[in-house]
Chain A
Amino acid sequence: DQQVKQNSPSLSVQEGRISILNCDYTNSMFDYFLWYKKYPAEGPTFLISISSIKDKNEDGRFTVFLNKSAKHLSLHIVPSQPGDSAVYFCAASADGAGSYQLTFGKGTKLSVIP
């Protein structure tokens, strides 16, 4: 039972354009959402997060949108740069008896073409 789904395994975008990565979740108890970026043979690097009480959070070129009714979130990268090429993981957490372990999607590989 996959509670966090990233339905697009890969995405190619031209440099300078917008990259939109999507994520759907099924567990209505999730109250905190994060995006991580991962290069091969490295650990996931935190990018941006959003609490369920918000619908948008922005940090520089990165914006995360949350649609709770649709159980959907998206990450927008504007403008996309070649250095953004990596695997992006969506993650979600819910308070489970004092433990906020993350549930991850399977990732979307973003390729930004110069």
Chain B
Amino acid sequence: DSGVTQTPKHLITATGQRVTLRCSPRSGDLSVYWYQQSLDQGLQFLIHYYNGEERAKGNILERFSAQQFPDLHSELNLSSLELGDSALYFCASSVTGGGNTIYFGEGSWLTVV
């Protein structure tokens, strides 16, 4: 158990819909990262928040957005969902902004039908 909690674990939704994935980082960790894992793309970095502020953006679509709240939990919002958005979405956390180990949650499996 990494200490990073993600909900929901599984989610099935229709195209065009919007979903929210939630992440609670490890106690004391200020950084939250979101990654997407699809079959052919491996683990792709989406976005990084540090203590409530956005630090870096990766391959995140405009239809996707994220935020980190004062209690340090984070949400990833996915809207206007398409079939190709079906993937495993991982949240990870670390103590600082980087230069150290990032610990991953169990992931949220999103299926768009």
Interface residues on A, range: 20 to 34
Contacts of A93 in B (CB 8 A): 98-99
Contact present for B42 and A100 (CB under 8 Å): no
Contact present for A101 and B50 (CB under 8 Å): no
Query: Chain B at the A interface: mostly helix, strand, loop or mixed?
Result: strand
Contact present for A99 and B98 (CB under 8 Å): yes
Determine, out of A12-20, A63-71, A77-85, A102-110, the stretch whose residues face the partner at the interface.
A102-110
Interface residues on B, range: 20 to 34
- Complex: how many Å from CA A94 to CA B48? 14
Contact present for A43 and B2 (CB under 8 Å): yes
1/0 per residue, CB under 8 A from B, across A1-37: the answer is 0000000000000000000000000000000101010
B66 on the interface (CB 8 Å rule)?
A: no
**Given A44-B90, A107-B42: A102 in contact with B55 (beta carbons within 8 A):** no
Q: Which of B2, B55, B106 contacts A99 (CB 8 A)?
A: B55
Query: Residues of B with Cβ closer than 8 Å to A?
Result: 2, 4, 33, 42-45, 48, 50, 55-56, 58, 90, 92, 94, 97-107, 109
**Given A89-B43, A97-B56, A101-B56: A43 in contact with B104 (beta carbons within 8 A):** yes
Contact present for B33 and A101 (CB under 8 Å): yes
